[in-house]
Structure formats: C-alpha cells, structure tokens
Structure 1
Amino acid sequence: MSNVVIITGASSGIGKESARLFARHGYRVFATARNVERMKDLAALGCVMIPMDVTDEESIQQAFKQIYAQTSRVDVLVNNAGFSQNGFFEELTPQHLRYQFEVNVFGLVRVTQMVLPIMRKARQGRIINVGSVGGDFTTAGASAYHASKYALESLTDGLRQEMKNFGIDVVLVKPGGVETEFINNAASFYPEPIAGNPYGAMREKFLKMTETILDSTNSSFPILKATEVAKAIFDSTTASQPRTRVRVGRTARMIPLMKGVLSDRAFDNMIMGQLGLNK
C-alpha cells in the first residue's frame, strides 16, 4: 500500500513542487488548496485534488471528510499553506493581523489536529511544517508575517516534544528567499495608507524592494527555487532520523549566525540598509 501524504497550499510554489515530487516517488498525494483549478496538472500525476481553505473550519472538516473516505492512513502531513501580510505596524488593522495568523498559525494547528488521532493510533507519522528564516529575525514593513513565523517556531517545538512518545516526528523546514508567487500574493494584501500617509516614502522603498528581492535575476540575495525546498521536505520525510530544523539555502543558515554576533542596533541597521529604509 502506498504511503499517504497530505499537502496544504498545493496550488503553486513549494506546495505544488512537493506534490509533484511525492507523486513521482509513488506516494498517494492529497493536494489541498482553495483553488483546485490551479492543480489540474497534479491530477495528471495521480494526485487527488481536495478543496480546502485553512481559515474556514467547515472547509477543513469537509476536506478531511473527503480524504478519510478514501484512506484510513496518513503517513505525512506537509503544512505549507501561508502568505505574508506586509505593511508598516501602524497601518495594520486587527483584521490584517487576524487573517495573517488564521492562515499561518491557526489554520496549520487545525489541519494538524485532524491527522493526529490517526497518526497516534498507528504510532507513526511525520509532520513537516514549512516555516521560514523569517522566524529568526524581523524586518520593518513585515512584522506581522515574521510574528506568525516566530509563533510557528514555538508551536513546532511543543508539538515535537508532545508527539515523541507516539512515534511521530515533527520537522520545521526553514527556507531562505524562494522564487515563487509569494511576493505577488503579498502585494495583493498590502494595506491602504493611513491618514496623511506618513510612511509614504518607506512604503515606496519597501514595495520596490519586494518586487526584486525574490527575483533571482535582480536580487542581491541567493534565491532558492521551489524545487529545492520541495526536495528538502521530501528528504525530511524519508530520513530515518530527520533533523528537527532544516535550514534550506545560504540565507537561512547565515542570518541566525549574524543575528547572534551583531547587536540589535547593528542588525537593525543592516536590515534597514538592505531594504533601502535608512535615511
């Protein structure tokens, strides 16, 4: 019987490349996303397309009803769904902040809770949470996103400890910058300026930076392909003793080292300079 993997956010980028990779290695893949129309190419590989909005409890329940009608086992869960709510602190509304955490944190929690009973009963399974180097540091203009990734760090640590005695491994995959539709999606959620637009110049510089920073042809940072992260996810699934944190790419490895050496103000100056936000 083929191993079963469930992947969230599989309509593009890391999630789609992960679905392709698992399918090519003989896994039975349940590929979930809000927009199943964007996953038709995965169906051709044998993936089962399941509509699921991780921010909607009814959608989650319906998705797993469909999944469990077709399988009684879950070997791997890849929590990949996520987005970046950019915007300067004062511009962010409670709605912006809630939705950021609904997608990146609370949705992930609920999806994970849906597979834990089956994994516990089988006393085996692997949960791969796709985090980010953004869980190690914070940049101006993206504090909401970074806060959600910091939260994921802590939740993953707790879950890993709690699942140890049930034979379930929990891995946090932390890529650096990845060339996907991530930035385009983030731009669509960008908040409107507040009265007087006091952050106007900063907004302009930040948006200009985000247009190029994940473009491998223009960025000053080493940019990953989604396929490289997908491989790290797959390798974490097949390793007999997976690392608890898998840093993918040079940026993901270097940023924590730099943050450990530099003072907060020195690190701030470095980040602000990279963003073009220093005066």
Structure 2
Amino acid sequence: MNIILITGAGSGIGYETAVSLKAQGHKIYGGIRSQQAADKLRQNGIIPIKLDVTNEIECKQAVEFIIENEKRLDVLINNAGYGLFGAVEDIEISEAMYQLDVNLFGMARLIQMVLPFMRGQQGGRIINISSVGGRVVSYMGAWYHASKYAVEAFSDALRMEVSDFGIDVILIEPGGTKTNWWETAVKNMKLRSTGGVYEKAAEKAADGMMKLYSSTLMSKPAVISKAIVKAVHAKKPKARYIVGFGSRSLLFLHFILPVRWYDWLAKHSI
C-alpha cells in the first residue's frame, strides 16, 4: 500500500485517479477546495484535505498532516490546474501570473515540501500532470501553453536532480480530455475579447473549442487516470506517458510539418 497525495482531486482526472487508486488498496489523500468535493471523496473512502496549491500555508499544513499521520509519503500526483485562453493582448498580466501560479509554482511549492521526506525514506514518486499542450500549442492559448511547457522543462530538470535519491519524476501528457475546465475557458475568452480587435477571432476559436470539447471525440478522464495508475505501479516508470485523444497525432504533425504549416493548421482547425 502506498500513501498518495493527489491535488485537484475533487473532479475530472484527479477524482477518477483517486477512486481508482483507492480501489487498488492505496491510502489516498485528495486535495480539494470545496466541502461538496470533500463529501464525494469521503463516500469513496478517500481522505479529503483542504488544499489550494497557490496557498503556501495550506500546502505546508497538508504535507505536515500526512507525514504526522503516516510517517511517510510515497507518491505525489500534481494534478491541479486549469486553462487560460485568449489573445495575449487581452489578458491581464495578473491573470497570467495566476495561471503560472496554479499550473507551475503550485506544483513546485508542494514538490519542495515533500522532497526532504522522500529523500529521508530513500524513495518516492512525483507524477506531474502536464499536457500535449506542453509540447505543441493551440490558437489563443499562449499563457496556458507557457505554463505547460514550463512544467515539462521543470520536470525534466527535477528528474535528473533527484534520481540519486531513488525518486522518480514522471510526466503525464494527456490529449483532449472531456472535463469541465473548457466551459469556463471558452466563456472567459469571449468576455475578454468583447469590443476589441480580437473579438471575431476569439469568438470563432471559442466556438470551435466548444464544438470539439462537447463532442464524443474527447477522451474520458478515466482514460488518463489509467495512465497515472500505470505510472504509480510500474517498477521502472517511463519519463513520459502520452495518452488521450489526438495526442500522438498532434506530436507527429508538429514534428514533420514546417513551422508555418503547423501554425496554419493550429489556427484553422478549430
């Protein structure tokens, strides 16, 4: 049995992963921000723990609570995140900073806190939920992709640093996944562009995203959670797990197409 902390466990990929790992006999602490999410986790035998990854005090309290109760932490799954979409000119820097705080610095904050304990127990596993969007970009997604590209680079560097201590660092790179984040992303992209020079382009991009993410093409969260579970159990885990709708196809096209051809495809495919 592993002691596992999962951030963003209240819904989507995080929730599916927590439930799956609990069913396989692990003890799961699920980071959540709402009471409703806490009740849902408890019903599945998962221990909810209040955890906003942008709040250093809550991060510290969560890690200390687990160590105090379990004396160890075997796996940290950094799943919390969201997508900020819109033209660079339309997005306030304060919004962009929050995107990076959630998707990158929140993850880094927890990693810094758990590493001393993992080193002390001479082993551990850190699983960072990135995205295919950490290796290719979509139209009007500059800040979201900047955060996920940073997660990729951060994880690659960290993997080298901690390998001598028996700690594995793993990236999960989902493609299109049917979770509820896109509804808020689309709505906010339209609002930010209203009355501006990017209004028509943003509306078209938002409508394309809405059509795509409300279709049956997107992968279900359970598809991604299976890859995470596999990474938890693997004796020698891979550095990257590419999974979900369109992931491998996008990476292949990005590799073989000239840059401007891929730019045109990304801009006009939604």
Match of 2:263 in 1: 268
Corresponding position: 1:14 with 2:9: no
Distance 1:194 1:173 in 2: 32
> What SS does the aligned partner of 1:5 have?
strand
1:223 aligns with one of 218, 226, 229: 218
Moved more, 146-155 or 40-49: 40-49
Whether the 8 Å contact between 1:76 and 1:126 is mirrored in structure 2 is yes
Distance 2:121 2:258 in 1: 47
Whether the 8 Å contact between 2:103 and 2:147 is mirrored in structure 1 is yes
Q: CA RMSD in A?
A: 1.6
Whether the 8 Å contact between 1:10 and 1:39 is mirrored in structure 2 is no
> What SS does the aligned partner of 1:178 have?
coil
Higher helix share: 2
Distance 1:238 1:7 in 2: 15
- Deviation per CA, 1:118-146, whole angstroms, max 9, x where unpaired? 11111111111000000111122111000
Whether the 8 Å contact between 1:36 and 1:50 is mirrored in structure 2 is no
> What SS does the aligned partner of 1:113 have?
helix
Q: CA 1:156 to 1:192, structure 2 compared with 1: closer, same or farther past 3 Å?
A: same
Match of 2:42 in 1: 43
Distance 2:139 2:4 in 1: 36
> What SS does the aligned partner of 2:69 have?
coil
> What SS does the aligned partner of 1:32 have?
strand
Which residue identity is paired with 1:206?
A
Which residue identity is paired with 2:9?
A
Corresponding position: 1:117 with 2:112: no
Whether the 8 Å contact between 1:50 and 1:66 is mirrored in structure 2 is no
Distance 2:190 2:213 in 1: 21
Q: CA 1:100 to 1:267, structure 2 compared with 1: closer, same or farther past 3 Å?
A: same
Distance 2:96 2:8 in 1: 20
Give the unaligned 5+ runs of structure 1.
none
Distance 2:255 2:66 in 1: 44
Corresponding position: 1:237 with 2:232: yes
Distance 1:55 1:273 in 2: 35
Match of 2:91 in 1: 92
Which residue identity is paired with 1:255?
L
- Deviation per CA, 1:33-55, whole angstroms, max 9, x where unpaired? 22242232221222110011111
Whether the 8 Å contact between 1:84 and 1:145 is mirrored in structure 2 is yes
TM-score (norm 2): 0.95
Displacement of 1:191 = 7.2
Distance 2:66 2:142 in 1: 35
Distance 2:245 2:206 in 1: 24
Displacement of 1:56 = 1.2
Give the unaligned 5+ runs of structure 2.
none
Whether the 8 Å contact between 2:77 and 2:128 is mirrored in structure 1 is yes
> What SS does the aligned partner of 1:140 have?
coil
The total of aligned residue pairs comes to 270
Whether the 8 Å contact between 2:190 and 2:206 is mirrored in structure 1 is no
Match of 1:56 in 2: 55
Q: CA 1:239 to 1:207, structure 2 compared with 1: closer, same or farther past 3 Å?
A: same
Match of 2:244 in 1: 249
> What SS does the aligned partner of 1:69 have?
helix
- Deviation per CA, 1:14-51, whole angstroms, max 9, x where unpaired? 00000000100111000002224223222122211001
Whether the 8 Å contact between 1:7 and 1:30 is mirrored in structure 2 is yes
- Deviation per CA, 1:68-113, whole angstroms, max 9, x where unpaired? 3321111111000000011111001111110000000000000111
